[in-house]
Amino acid sequence: MVQRVDVSGKQGYPLFLGAELGELGSHLQNTYGQDGHYLLISNTTVAKHYAEKLSQGCHGLKLDQIIVPDGEEEKSLERISTLTEHALDLSADRDTIVLALGGGVIGDLAGFFASIFMRGIRYIHIPTTLLSQIDSSIGGKVAVNHPSGKNILGSFHMPQAVWTDFTTLQTLPWKEMRNGLAETIKHTLVAEPDLFEFIDDHADDIKGRNDKILKEMALRSLAVKVKIVSEDEREKGIRMLLNLGHSFGHALETEEDYKGITHGEGVSIGVAAAVFLAKGRDLMTGKQMERTLDLLRRLDLPTTVTGHDPHVLLQHMAADKKNKAGHKILILPVGIGKSTIVKDCSDEEILRAWESVIR
C-alpha cells in the first residue's frame, strides 16, 4: 500500500512511500499527460537492476536514458558537462523532466544538473538506497564535489516528487546499507531518542535484513528529516542540526579525494568525533557516549580511522558550508535525542576530537 507524506514549505512536494517502480509511469501520465519528455539518469549498478522495470512502466511515454559510471567521483563539473551534451543530443528542453534513479550520488548529480540546465528544469527523485530513501532524497539539496570540499557547488532545487520503492533494498549490498544506517543513527541523536532505542533493541534484526524492521526504521528515520526540512526549507536554522557528523566526515571524504571512505563511513566516524567533543563539553555523559559508539560498532560502522593527519583534516574543515566569518560551526549531540549548534569550538578542541578517532 502506497503511503503519501507531504513535505511542506514554499515549494512543497509529496513523498510516495512503498510505491512500485513499475507504477511510476501511470503517475507521470496522470500528473503530466502523455506528451512529456522524460530523461532517466542513473548509474551502471542501479540501471542493471531497475532501469528496465521503470522503463517498462513508462511504456508509451517519451523516455530517454543517460547512464553514468558508479562512484562518488562522478559528482563533478566534468560529469555535469557530459550530461549537458547528452541531454542536448536527446533534444531535452525546458519542459523535460529528469528522473533521478539511484542513491545519494545520482540524486545529487541529477538534481544539480536539473537545477542549472536551461536555468532549471523539473526532476523526480527515485531513491534506491537506504541513505537516499531516508535522507538525501528529501529536502532539495543538490550538489557536486570540488577538490576543495564536498558539495561545495550546489543549490536548493526541490523535486516534483520522491518515488520510493523499498523493495530496492533487497539488492543493496550491506556496505551500502551501512551508509544509510549511519544517517539513521544521526537522526536519532538529532531528534528521535525512541528510534535510538528501537535500533538498539533490533540491531540483530537489522543486520539480518528483516524487511518489517527495516521498513519501520526507514519510515521513522525519514519522518525526522521531513519534519525538520518542512520547518526550515533553506537551512537557515534548525535544519543545520542534520549536519551532525558531517563536518568531520566531509573532511575525510575530501582528503581521500572521494575515492576512499564512503559517505556513511565518514558520517559514522564524524559522529564518533562529535560525541567525544560533546563529552568533553559535558553535553553527553560517558555512558551516553559509549552507548552511541557501541551501537555504531554493532551495525559494523567505523568509529576510528587510520593514516590521517588531524591538522590536515582540520584545514579541510575550513571549507565547511556552515562556517561563518571564519568561525567553524559544529553540530554536537546533547545526550541522545537532541543536538545543538556550537559556534565557539576552538581548533584545539577539534584536534583533540580528531585524535580520539585516529589510530
- Cβ neighbours for 233, distance < 8 A, ≥ 6 positions apart: 9, 10, 11, 139, 140, 156, 158, 239
The catalytic position among 141, 157, 321, 328 is 141
The catalytic position among 178, 246, 279, 308 is 246
The catalytic position among 79, 157, 178, 225 is 225
Measure the CA–CA gap between 65 and 44, rounded to whole angstroms: 11
Q: Is 225 labeled as catalytic in the residue annotation?
A: yes
Concatenated DSSP letters of 48-107:
HHHHHHHHHHTTTSEEEEEEE--SGGG-SHHHHHHHHHHHHHTT--TT-EEEEEESHHHH
C-alpha cell at 87: 541531454
The catalytic position among 125, 157, 186, 239 is 239
Digitized pLDDT (tens) for each residue of the chain, 359 residues in all: 899 999 998 899 999 999 999 999 999 999 999 899 999 999 999 999 999 999 999 999 999 999 999 999 999 999 999 999 999 999 999 999 999 999 999 999 999 999 999 999 999 999 999 999 999 999 999 999 998 889 999 999 999 999 999 999 999 999 999 999 999 999 999 999 999 999 999 999 999 999 999 999 999 999 999 999 999 998 989 999 999 999 999 999 999 998 889 999 999 999 999 999 999 999 999 999 999 999 999 999 999 999 999 999 999 998 776 776 567 899 999 999 999 999 999 999 999 999 999 99
Concatenated DSSP letters of 256-288:
TTTSSS-HHHHHHHHHHHHHHHHHHTTSS-HHH
* pLDDT given for residue 266 in this prediction: 97
**Size (the chain), residues:** 359
* pLDDT given for residue 50 in this prediction: 97
Measure the CA–CA gap between 352 and 280, rounded to whole angstroms: 10
* pLDDT given for residue 182 in this prediction: 98
Which residues are paired to 98 by β-bridges?
Answer: 39, 123
Residue 126 near residue 21 (C-beta atoms within 8 A): yes
Residue 44 near residue 76 (C-beta atoms within 8 A): no
Right CATH for 3-171 from 3.40.50.1970, 2.60.120.460, 3.40.50.150, 3.30.70.270: 3.40.50.1970
**Which of 36, 94, 95, 37 is CA-nearest to residue 66?**
37
The catalytic position among 125, 186, 263, 328 is 263
Q: Is 141 labeled as catalytic in the residue annotation?
A: yes
Measure the CA–CA gap between 12 and 154, rounded to whole angstroms: 20
Residue 134 near residue 15 (C-beta atoms within 8 A): no
Measure the CA–CA gap between 275 and 223, rounded to whole angstroms: 23
- Cβ neighbours for 355, distance < 8 A, ≥ 6 positions apart: 310
**Topology at the third CATH level for domain 174-357:** Dehydroquinate synthase-like, alpha domain (1.20.1090)
Q: Is 250 labeled as catalytic in the residue annotation?
A: yes
* pLDDT given for residue 326 in this prediction: 67
Q: Is 243 labeled as catalytic in the residue annotation?
A: yes
- CA of residue 100 relative to chain centroid, distance: 14
Q: What is the DSSP letter of 12?
A: -
Q: Is 53 labeled as catalytic in the residue annotation?
A: no
Show me where the domains of the chain are located.
Answer: 3-171, 174-357
The catalytic position among 59, 119, 236, 359 is 119
Which of helix, strand or coil describes residue 157?
coil
* pLDDT given for residue 148 in this prediction: 86
Query: Strands (DSSP E) along the chain, which ranges?
Result: 3-7, 13-17, 37-43, 62-68, 97-102, 122-127, 141-146, 149-156, 161-164, 330-333, 339-342
The catalytic position among 250, 279, 316, 321 is 250
